Amino acid sequence: MAGEQNTATGAKAPVAARSVALWDPVVRLFHWALVLAFFAVWFLGKFGPDQMTLHFYAGYAVGGLVLLRLIWGIIGPAPARFTSFVRGPKAVMAYARHLPARRPSNTLGHNAVGALFVVGILAVLVVQVTTGLIGDPEDYVNTGPLADYVAIETSRTALSLHELLGNLAMIMVIVHIAAIGFYRRWKGEDLVTPMITGKKQIPAETD
């Protein structure tokens, strides 16, 4: 629980907190299912069997989840909609200036900087899935199901991009995990529990 300095005793007086509904079941299911599917597809692609059937299945799961999130970002509850958290450069810079402050942001949803990650990872995964669908390594086994519908040069380029974007996505995920740790240790803000329970604890006076 957050605290404020008691001038009489020097101790921290408790500040009343309230619980607010934040993440709906669809967002929470998407998030944790994507965690599992992403790590499965990445490790299967890097270290899985030569015949990449399981990698393809995990890739289909990632594609389906991303499609769900894109749709839910338009028709879902307010915190899930892109219009509620995607902000312009001015808002991003304003939030970034206060990012080092050692206090919770108490943002009800994705903050302006976090929104960049959400949009960025979804964009990378869209292209990643697309390149996987049309990629053709010429081994007659691991060919993408839509490779026959594009030129062979396009398939080769897609295959190169597929590997590059896979590594980029993993770097983004590592940065995301580090940011969660930063918020927890430095700013005293728990970003994980709300994604499990759907509720967030904030100071009672916070709007």
pLDDT in tens, 32-90: 999 999 999 999 999 999 889 999 999 999 999 999 999 999 999 999 999 999 999 99
What CATH number corresponds to the domain at position 52? Answer: 1.20.950.20
The number of distinct structural domains making up the chain is: 1
Task: Judge whether 174 lies within some domain.
Answer: yes
pTM of the model: 0.87
Task: Judge whether 173 lies within some domain.
Answer: yes
**CB-based contacts of 134: which residues, under 8 Å, 6+ apart?**
144, 146, 147, 149, 150, 154, 155, 158
> What are the pLDDT tens digits along the chain (207 aa)?
444 444 444 444 455 678 899 999 999 999 999 999 999 999 999 999 988 999 999 999 999 999 999 999 999 999 999 999 999 999 999 999 999 999 998 888 999 999 999 999 999 999 999 999 999 888 878 899 999 999 999 999 999 999 999 999 999 999 999 999 999 999 999 999 999 999 998 887 655
Q: What is the dihedral of CA 61, 62, 64, 65, to 10 degrees?
A: 110
